[in-house]
Structure 1
Amino acid sequence: MTRFKLTLLAATLPVLALASPASAQSADTHQYVLDLGAGVLAQSRYPGSDETIFVPYPLIAVSKFFLPGYGQIDGDTDTRRLTIYPSFNYIGKRNSSDSNELRGLDDVSWAVEAGLGVSYRYDWIRGFAEVRQGFNGYSGQVAQFGIDVIASPTEDLELRFGPRAGWGSQNYMDTYFGISSREAADSPIYDKSYKADAGFNTVGLAGSATYNLTDDWKLHALVGWDRLVGDAGNSPIVKEGSENQYYAGGGLTYRFAFDLF
């Protein structure tokens, strides 16, 4: 299952998926400062799979943003702030031919999730919550919650680490973890149907690191573990795969600074 997420981190109108330590360029007079790049992510083939695949993913971070009528928003220097931001996620198509554990099950089309997140940072700790609506592959809602401890061992290095939890609505849970009566009849593995109700589906840990190679180039790394719980963890699909879902990745971004007004 191909998946990537774009969230905001740095200001009230941010865009992104990563943190970035302050650099010399973030203190200049430009109205807009953003980091753009790409990376490679190792993750489970689909929710509950014990197979790993490698997928590309975008890296986008907004550090400074000028909002006409409001003024300059500088996420690099403000370490005490409330942030409201858009949150997006993409889930690739799940094919029954992807794995023996999926034989007889319906294909699940790709899905796009869109919603909002809110976070609050106070010096070295940050908490956040995100809620998104799914489209195409399923029609339902998901939510993610987390807390990060933030440390900067050096001027150029920032580390983040903390717990995570995920929640899914009825339609999301049944789409990725449920088995219909017809699917059970067609499957050589599953002999009965399974209904996955709404609820918390993951608990885990996540960490990230960002290192300033130069004022413009940044190296990013992330690693995480999710444990499928509740009706997701009890799904026969997961029992045939794995309740433990790991991911790790890395990438490179370049910083762009410019003015529009």
Structure 2
Amino acid sequence: MRTSRVLISTFMVALPASSVAANDFDLYGGASPDLVAPKQGPGIIVELGLGVGVEPAYEGASDYTVVFSPIVEVEKLTIPGLINVNKTRGGLSISPAMDFVSERISGDHDWLAGLNDVDATYAPGVRIGYEMELTDGLSGELYAKLQYAFGGAEDFLGAVGANLSWRLTPQLTLTGGPALSFAGDDYMNTYFGVTADESNATGGRLAAYQAEGGPKSASLSVSAKYEIITDTFVTLSASYRQLLGSAADSPIVEEESQFTVGLGLSRRFSLGY
């Protein structure tokens, strides 16, 4: 899953009084029109592309599958009088967060045979981060996410994490860091619980199990993004995730340690700037 990250900010520009001559003002005390900066109309800078990756067939699976996902990342967005978004300025950022879990069909996985299918789950929410420059070319970010899942599972999800971003060259940037995720009772039971009826349907192979909300996983991710030609990027990413708590103890889980790798190609588009 990819999420776009945007930074909401406001701007104030001061012009030193010593640089303004008396004839630069009109009769009403305002600045001369040639000194007034032109108003910015609506505009957007967005990165669009497609990624392909390999990830577990479901959380806790021992087998892996190939997945495709869109890349949508808003770098700058101006709607006069409403919003001025600029990802590149650092500081506080507030952005939407969206995760999607495709439907889980138990008949497609030998280990899950006998369990109920789970519909696709959608989890919109908000991501709040604070980014600071540590040294020239190196920055750090702390962030938190809060989302509400609906569809296959309905409950709150959350995550906290940190990222380091190191610009090695004007074209190449490395990013990575740890994260800790959480989920409520309903979400955990939907994906990691086993009812008595489901246990009977498996012939007792999977014992009845009541999962509880709390920490779900700890992860570490890294990515390398390279601008191969102007405004065109290739991104290589990888992550390691360790299931925790009720998720790790679930009889559904074959492997507590999970890995993902991905490759993406994207292009930056600008309109109005």
Return the TM-score normalized by structure 1: 0.86
Aligned mate of 1:50, from 54, 59, 62: 62
- Aligned equivalents of 2:86, 2:106: Cα separation in 1: 46
- Provide Cα deviations, 1:80-108, integer angstroms capped at 9, x if missing partner: 31011111111111111121110111000
Instruction: Name the structure 1 match of 2:249.
Output: 234
Instruction: Name the structure 2 match of 1:209.
Output: 224
- Provide Cα deviations, 1:37-60, integer angstroms capped at 9, x if missing partner: 001011000010011100100101
Q: Which residues of 2 match residues 45-194 of structure 1 at below 5 A?
A: 45-69=57-81, 72-76=84-88, 78=89, 80-123=90-133, 124-188=139-203, 190=205, 192-194=207-209
Amino acid at match of 1:255: R
Identity fraction in percent: 27
Displacement of 1:236 in angstroms is 0.7
- Aligned equivalents of 1:189, 1:212: Cα separation in 2: 53
1:198 aligns with 2:227: no
Larger Rg: 2
Instruction: Name the SS of the counterpart of 1:182 in structure 2.
Output: helix
Instruction: Name the SS of the counterpart of 1:48 in structure 2.
Output: coil
Q: Does the 8 A contact of 2:119 with 2:152 survive in 1?
A: yes
Instruction: Name the SS of the counterpart of 1:109 in structure 2.
Output: coil
- Aligned equivalents of 1:220, 1:191: Cα separation in 2: 40
- Aligned equivalents of 2:228, 2:218: Cα separation in 1: 33
- Provide Cα deviations, 1:108-151, integer angstroms capped at 9, x if missing partner: 01111111110110011011111111111111111122101110
- Aligned equivalents of 1:12, 1:110: Cα separation in 2: 31
Displacement of 1:30 in angstroms is 8.9
Amino acid at match of 1:259: G
Displacement of 1:189 in angstroms is 5.1
Instruction: Name the structure 1 match of 2:12.
Output: none
- Aligned equivalents of 1:129, 1:191: Cα separation in 2: 35
Aligned pair count reads: 237
Displacement of 1:32 in angstroms is 1.6
Q: Does the 8 A contact of 2:223 with 2:236 survive in 1?
A: yes
- Aligned equivalents of 2:180, 2:83: Cα separation in 1: 35
Q: Considering Cα pairs closer than 8 Å and 6+ residues apart, tell me whether 1 or 2 has the greater RCO.
A: 1
Displacement of 1:196 in angstroms is 0.5
- Aligned equivalents of 1:126, 1:73: Cα separation in 2: 18
Where structure 2 has 5 or more consecutive residues not aligned to the other structure, the ranges are: 10-40, 134-138
Displacement of 1:71 in angstroms is 6.5
Amino acid at match of 1:128: Y
Displacement of 1:199 in angstroms is 0.3
Change (3 A) 1:86 1:71: closer
Q: Does the 8 A contact of 2:42 with 2:272 survive in 1?
A: yes
Q: Does the 8 A contact of 1:30 with 1:257 survive in 2?
A: no
- Aligned equivalents of 1:71, 1:140: Cα separation in 2: 30
Amino acid at match of 2:94: I
- Aligned equivalents of 1:30, 1:192: Cα separation in 2: 58
Q: Does the 8 A contact of 1:170 with 1:198 survive in 2?
A: yes
